[in-house]
Amino acid sequence: MNAIPEEKRMHSMLNGVDIPPCPVVLLELDAELKKDVPDQREVGRLISSDVALSGHVMLVANSPAFSTGHKLPTVMQAINVLGMRSVFNMVVGHLLKAALSDGQDLTMERFWESSALTARVSAELAKRLRCVRPDVAYTFGLFHDCGIPLLMKRFPQTKEVLAKANASEERIFTEIEEEGLGTNHAVVGYFLVKRWHLPDFIAEGVLYHHDYGVFGKPGSVADVSCALIAINVLAEHVTRLHNAGRGEEEWTKAAESVCAYFNLSLGAVDDLIDDLLDWLS
């Protein structure tokens, strides 16, 4: 990993936040998918062995977001029609929410809905911009803010600190978190991604996803991490426009750098945003 600081020093920044272990079923699925020729039947067996997990997969597979026009009655059919990577993303989303949720309130339910939508938009952006695999962009969309629920559990003032960071027009989001909490969700998310054995470039992207200075420093982070950061901040902007009818300060901070990274004019990106909003509608 290119620009990751000394992890021993970073551990001190967790400030008492507990990182949940990786679920065994995710480790087993990941090991199977990393084989040269993954066995679809074994993937189906692993998912079907958990009633809640298989039920979630079928619910999502037959939702409007993934609908093929025909009801998919079994996990194996979902795998055959949608592909193992798509089904794996459904598994990851369910396990992440289960691991990080603890008596969540309505606010956190909206957080999970927004994360899932950001992941969908990220995958669509990756497909259109052809800069990273859509399934990788989807996974990053799910995990980029995964530190927030853990901060919520640890610090009662988290919502107020995040609101202040969201409203800042100039300062780096994570700097404001560190002032109020002694840590930030990017560092917490980095350690969760590492503990869950996701690729290093995803961990690196999560760590730096609010640091838009990486776009002006070639080689400071892996190329794929940079692409994921760019896709994610644009996807979050689209998601916010879709849900609330207005954008947020993060896109204002990142827009110029992201447009330059994709070699697109601001007008072309605005057209892309409009197309994505139509796609979501």
CA distance 40 to 29: 10
Return the higher-pLDDT residue of 32 and 218.
Answer: 32
Interval 123-147: pLDDT, tens: 999 999 999 999 899 999 999 999 9
Stretch 75-92: mean pLDDT, rounded?
89
CATH superfamily placement of domain 104-281: Hypothetical protein af1432 (1.10.3210.10)
**Confidence class of residue 10 from pLDDT cuts 50, 70 and 90?**
confident
> What gap in Å lies between CA 254 and CA 250, rounded to an integer?
6
Q: What amino acid is encoded at 70 in this protein?
A: H
Numbered ranges of CATH 1.10.3210.10 in the chain:
104-281
pLDDT at 7 (0 to 100) = 72
Count CB neighbours of 281 within 10 A.
6
Q: How far apart are CA 146 and CA 142, in angstroms?
A: 7
Q: 115's torsion region: left (phi>0), alpha (psi -120 to 50) or beta?
A: alpha
Tokens 């969908």 correspond to 120
Spell out the residues 6+ positions from residue 152 whose beta carbon is closer than 8 angstroms to its own: 108, 158, 159
Q: What is the pLDDT of residue 275?
A: 97
Could you tell me the pLDDT band of residue 2, with boundaries at 50, 70 and 90? Answer: very low
Flag whether pLDDT at 1 surpasses 50.
Answer: no
Query: Does residue 3 surpass a pLDDT of 60?
Result: no
Contact 131, 235 (CB under 8 A): no
